[in-house]
Amino acid sequence: MKKELLRAEKINTIGELAASIAHEIRNPLTVVKGFLQLNSERKEGQLAYIPIMLEELGRAEAIINDYLNVSRPKLEKIERFELAPMMANMKILLDPLANIEGVILLSDLDEGLYLETDRARLQQALINLIKNAIEATPSGGVVTLRLKRRGHEGVITIADTGRGMSEGELSRLGTLFYSTKEKGTGLGTSVSLRIIEMMHGQISFKSELNVGTEITVVLPLQQDVRPSKAKLGGVG
Ligand code: ADP
Ligand code: MG
């Protein structure tokens, strides 16, 4: 399998350039959405297109939020948390999607690995990657989530038995707006790359056409600084 380490630099310039535009668009969208919501309550049944408009506006809003995340990402709420329960929770969130696609989601998670970072952001980064894995995998296939300790690092792998990517596709992955999906935004991977980079982590992809893809995310672990009972002088 060919291995490629992705660098987020390739999206910096264009990301920064458009950040201000994206920010300006988000505000009017939010206002229009608010008015439409009011309208749909008052004239229920008359304006059947309103739910569609709301859905499309919601989609535009999601794209812009993703876009802002790529170009101006921020870690907001920093907290200490254990990785295994967070990943188990993500599996629960994504099981319905896997079910719809006929994909089996498996997990093998080491316990006792702690991080100190923005939990919601990390979850967002991983969910983008796992969603891609599920979407690339045909019915009957498997997506496996693993979490292992490697020294002072946590190693997360997301392996799928999906369609895989050619070398050309692999080299375009993480480029803004690159998507092979009919309704894809081509932003998910870019968002994930930026978030992992901000967390001083590394991300790499191995893929083989018609065999599958394995994504590896390596994150620096938080050392367990709490003194153990033994160190405090207690016995037993
Ligand atoms: P989107 O999912 O909206 O298309 P992404 O940035 O998340 O945007 O992914 C970009 C493209 O990379 C996808 O359209 C797909 O072609 C490819 N891709 C990403 N992950 C995988 C994977 N696990 N297996 C095969 N192709 C993938
Ligand atoms: Mg995606």
pLDDT at 73 over 90: no
Query: Which residues line ligand 1 at a C-beta cut-off of 6 Å?
Result: 128, 132-133, 136, 160, 162-165, 173, 178-181, 184-190, 213
Q: Take atom 21 of ligand 1 and give the residue whose Cα is closest.
A: 132
Tens-place pLDDT, residues 91-142: 999 999 999 999 999 999 999 999 999 999 999 999 999 999 999 999 999 9
Q: Give the CA-trace dihedral at 168, 172, 177, 181, to 10 degrees.
A: 40
Residue identifier of the C-alpha nearest atom 7 of ligand 1 = 188
Q: What is the pLDDT of residue 175?
A: 84
When mean pLDDT is compared over 44-53, 55-64, 87-96, 179-188, the highest value belongs to: 87-96
Nearest ligand, measured from the Cα of 130: 1
Taking CA 62 as the corner, what is the angle to CA 60 and CA 68, rounded to the nearest 5 degrees? 105
What is the residue-wise DSSP string for 120-144?
HHHHHHHHHHHHHHHHHSPTT-EEE
Mean pLDDT value across residues 22-33: 72
Residue 226 is predicted with a pLDDT of 54
Q: Which ligand is nearest to the CA of 157?
A: 1
57: confidence class by pLDDT, cuts 50, 70, 90: confident
58 CA distance to ligand 1 middle (Å) = 21
Kindly indicate whether the ipTM for this predicted assembly is greater than 0.95, answering yes or no. Answer: yes
Q: Name which of 129, 128, 122 is nearest 199 in CA terms.
A: 122
pLDDT band at 234 (very low <50, low <70, confident <90, very high): very low
More confident residue, 69 or 78: 78
**132 alpha carbon – ligand 1 mean position (Å):** 5
